[in-house]
Amino acid sequence: MRYNQPLSGDRVAGEPELKSVGDGSIGNNSNFSLRRVRLVFSGDINDYISLYLQPDFATTNGDLNFAQLRDAYADLAFDKAHEYRIRAGQSKVPFGWENLQSSQNRLTLDRDDALNSAVPSERDLGLFAYWSPSDVQKLWKDLTKKGLKTSGDYGVLGIGVYNGQGINKAEANDGMYLVAHSTYPFDLGFMGLRGQVVEIGADALSGRFNRSTAAYTSRFGSGTPTARDNSEDRVGVHAVLFPQPFGLQAEWNWGAGSTLDPVTNVIDRKHLEGGYVQAMYKIDEVFGTKGTMFPYVKWQTYDGAWKGVTNAPRVSVDEVEAGVEYQINKALELTVAYSTMNRTQIQTQTTAAGFLQQASGDMIRTQLQFNY
């Protein structure tokens, strides 16, 4: 459950309305909202086959709180330790580190735009193969037991093929996306830093994305944009020092993909780049209780297309968020953050006035999360 309170840049006559792709409740005439309402059904059929099903009851479809499928997949293991497995169905695409992190587990309120723009909603339909050595599985589990936030087990190495049109979207071409994922956690005990763990890795994806288009009036004419080249290629890197008690987290990606040029009225292949840097600190025994507190600060930037909306407009994002997450207990946590944003308003990019408009503002953001 969220509540966002604008401090500046909102409800000003003649100024563009500040919005965010990560949280649809940011904007005018908005108070409380349900960001996610998810129930997970999962289990092991036997030693080699596991099933996972997750719907979300907070999807917006004109009105609020419609049910939509998020995950529906089977893990097919080749050994009882699940070191080698194939994931078949609709699941997260292994590109990036924060993208793979559960929203329930993530520290900041929203994912960064730069990496998330590669796979909006993080999921697609496909086949993915993962390799997770037993010693790495154990290290990830040990970090989780300490209350630290891993990205989940998506393998030390992972490769996959998927449709590439986005979550719950019909396939729109004969080609498939290819993705490769790598990450490895290093225990720094050999450097005399006993218990400290740093995780580093790199990812890549490539495919063809058929972007939906719509008639609009640009500054230079009218008509439906022409899609000339929908190929997309990206590479990304990440590094995470888990907070014990101080931590750092950073990701960056580069590439090119479908981007609308309002001058030529063509959706063409253009450069994109962006990422984020985040610092955090873990405080145990808050107020004399067993609660845990994570103060954090995150800076993100992105310059490139947002392919998840009509006409694939180019966006510019620069944002700083500083906040604190208070885990009262395992089932309940409260996050309060201050954000200062400067964003291209992609929701209005099908009108002449929408192109190249930037909106900026400051706000207090809050989230009360119930876990099970």
221-270 per-position pLDDT tens digit: 567 778 777 899 999 999 999 999 999 999 999 999 999 887 788 888 99
Q: Token pair for residue 330?
A: 């395992």
What are the backbone dihedrals phi and psi of residue 287, each rounded to the nearest 5 degrees, phi first?
Answer: 55, 35
Share of the chain above pLDDT 90, in %: 66
Give the CATH number for residue 77. Answer: 2.40.160.10
Query: How confident is residue 176, by pLDDT bands cut at 50, 70 and 90?
Result: very high
Q: 314-329 and 177-187 as β-strands: parallel, antiparallel, unpaired?
A: unpaired
Q: Token pair for residue 43?
A: 């289990």
Q: What is the mean pLDDT of the chain?
A: 90
Task: Kindly give the residue spans of alpha helices, DSSP state H, lying in the chain.
Answer: 113-116, 134-145
State the residue range of the domain holding 285: 2-370
Question: Given the structure tokens 């479809």, which residue do they identify?
Answer: 61
317 burial class (0-12, 13-18, 19+ CB within 10 angstroms)?
A: buried
Nearest to 237 by CA among 114, 76, 71, 53: 114
Q: How far apart are CA 284 and CA 296, in angstroms?
A: 15
pLDDT for the residue 233: 97
SS3 72: strand
Q: Is the pLDDT of residue 353 over 70?
A: no
pLDDT digits (tens, 9 = 90+) for 126-172: 999 999 999 999 999 999 999 999 999 999 999 999 999 989 988 88
Q: Token pair for residue 220?
A: 């230079």
Q: Is the pLDDT of residue 209 over 90?
A: no
Q: Token pair for residue 76?
A: 């097919």
Q: Which residues contact 104 (CB under 8 A, 6 or more apart)?
A: 369, 371
Q: How far apart are CA 288 and CA 142, in angstroms?
A: 25
Question: Given the structure tokens 């793979």, which residue do they identify?
Answer: 100
Q: How far apart are CA 314 and CA 267, in angstroms?
A: 10
Mean pLDDT, range 278-301, rounded to an integer: 91
Number of folded domains in the chain?
A: 1
